Structure 1
Amino acid sequence: MADVTLPVKPSPYPLEEPGLWVERIGDRVFAEGTPALFLDRDGTINVDTDYPSDPADIVLRDDIVPVIEAANRGKIPVVVVTNQSGIARGYLGWDEFAAVNGRVLDLLRDGNVFVDMVVACAYHEAGTGPLAIPDHPMRKPNPGMLLEAATRLGLDLERSLIVGDKSADMVAGQRAGLARGWLVDGEATSQAGFEILPLRDRDDQKRLLAAIEALQSHLN
């Protein structure tokens, strides 16, 4: 009896590979060489609940909607780049990620703001099966997710900005060729041509908003 090969059921999610989610949201078109605002998700856009898997637990940080609003107003692409090692570790799956991510996007829309792309990396050395890859090029602090977004959207990385709550976010920005990043509850520092600014209070937020508005002025 001949072997029968069953067809592989396609994933309902925008998975480029087992551990890489790349979702284009909306249909805004950007000129080649436009800078972007890169945002980490958990701890930056929403309050970090430690491997979030329940949409009901998602709460946005108070300071993030005005930041995304400024980018939207200035026609600056907003790209979420998020490590999701909880998937590799078995704490949640892509189903739960999709539900939580959808809730984040819905809450942002309720605030009349939106993102243009979500890139998520589930690879981690502590994972199992195809997700058990140490130091995967897409996982921050490696720059792969930023480079992937840049290729797809035609971004100018050197003038782009990144906001995150971990040093890995800043290192990923630096390795991708960005010049500046904002570290949630962090301290100001500079190294190897990369400037890190804090995002702790309203004055820090104003400086970030001014930097986004400056990007807009170069596009006009």
Structure 2
Amino acid sequence: MNSSPEDKASRPAVFFDRDGVLNKDIGYLFEAGKLVWIDGAREAVKAVNDLGYFAFVVTNQSGVARGLYEEAHVRALHDWMADELAKIGARIDAFEYCPYHPEGTVKRYRQASDRRKPSPGMITDLLQRFPVDTGRSFLIGDQPTDLEAARAAGLKGYLFSGHNLELFLKPLLPTG
């Protein structure tokens, strides 16, 4: 008998915004060579993994709608980030991004989307795909819109100051 995600025990999750939380926000990042990790970011992801939590990334990527880069660039950067995390035994269970923006210059991406934060679509999509214990899950973002998306999805949200992500995260996690 095949097991579905609903059959598995639910686990808590940490939802990470990308730019400004996992990496320095340089504006419209899409090249691996320009990514600078936030201090403690990789270690924070590993800490989440080590506790058995899901680790997710939810990121607005309006640069696609603005014609600055393509979805393939976003996916390639996420693949590179996953490879870098794997070097220390860390992983992201799913990367979600929203390429849409209502003022985009690329017609097919010029639209409002319930996946664009502050709307909760990326989070709710993940909640449908994975057996997440929402009561023990939370989001870390660097913008009020990140926290609005978390609230709209029924999650706690924490505003990250941009210093060391591991030090910020540790008090939010249960101690063994």
> TM-score scaled to structure 1, two decimals?
0.70
Q: Over alpha carbons, which structure has the higher Rg? A: 1
1:213 and 2:156 equivalent?
no
Query: Counterpart amino acid of 1:55?
Result: A
Following TM superposition, by how much is the alpha carbon of 1:165 offset from its aligned partner in structure 2, in angstroms?
1.1
User: CA–CA distance in 1 between the matches of 2:7 and 2:145?
Assistant: 28
Summarize the Cα distance change of 1:201–1:109 in structure 2 as closer, same or farther, 3 Å threshold: closer
Per the alignment, residue 55 of structure 1 pairs with: 32
Number of matched residues? 170
CA RMSD, Structure 1 to Structure 2 (Å): 2.2
User: CA–CA distance in 2 between the matches of 1:207 and 1:184?
Assistant: 7
User: CA–CA distance in 1 between the matches of 2:168 and 2:76?
Assistant: 33
Summarize the Cα distance change of 1:33–1:42 in structure 2 as closer, same or farther, 3 Å threshold: same
Per the alignment, residue 3 of structure 2 pairs with: none
User: CA–CA distance in 2 between the matches of 1:81 and 1:41?
Assistant: 7
Query: Counterpart amino acid of 1:86?
Result: G
Per the alignment, residue 67 of structure 1 pairs with: 44
Alignment partner of 2:174: what SS? helix
Contact 2:14 2:138 in 1 (8 A): yes
Give 1 or 2: higher helix fraction.
2
Query: Counterpart amino acid of 2:41?
Result: I
> TM-score scaled to structure 2, two decimals?
0.87
Please list every run of at least 4 consecutive aligned residues from structure 1 whose deviation after the TM superposition is greater than 3 angstroms: 29-32, 199-202
1:94 and 2:71 equivalent?
yes
Per the alignment, residue 39 of structure 1 pairs with: 16
Find 2:159's aligned residue among 168, 173, 183: 183
Alignment partner of 1:213: what SS? coil
Structure 1: 5+ residue stretches without partners: 1-28, 186-198
Contact 1:157 1:176 in 2 (8 A): no
1:169 and 2:130 equivalent?
no
Following TM superposition, by how much is the alpha carbon of 1:164 offset from its aligned partner in structure 2, in angstroms?
1.1
Query: Counterpart amino acid of 1:152?
Result: R
Q: Deviation digits for residues 57-98 of structure 1, max 9, x if unmatched?
A: 112111212221211111100011111000011000012112
Query: Counterpart amino acid of 1:75?
Result: G
1:132 and 2:110 equivalent?
yes
Summarize the Cα distance change of 1:113–1:210 in structure 2 as closer, same or farther, 3 Å threshold: same
User: CA–CA distance in 1 between the matches of 2:108 and 2:168?
Assistant: 42
Per the alignment, residue 10 of structure 1 pairs with: none
User: CA–CA distance in 2 between the matches of 1:206 and 1:139?
Assistant: 28
Summarize the Cα distance change of 1:109–1:132 in structure 2 as closer, same or farther, 3 Å threshold: same
Contact 2:49 2:55 in 1 (8 A): yes
User: CA–CA distance in 1 between the matches of 2:143 and 2:38?
Assistant: 15
Contact 1:72 1:113 in 2 (8 A): yes
Alignment partner of 1:158: what SS? helix
Following TM superposition, by how much is the alpha carbon of 1:206 offset from its aligned partner in structure 2, in angstroms?
4.3
Following TM superposition, by how much is the alpha carbon of 1:144 offset from its aligned partner in structure 2, in angstroms?
0.7
Find 1:154's aligned residue among 131, 154, 169: 131
1:118 and 2:95 equivalent?
yes
Contact 1:60 1:104 in 2 (8 A): no
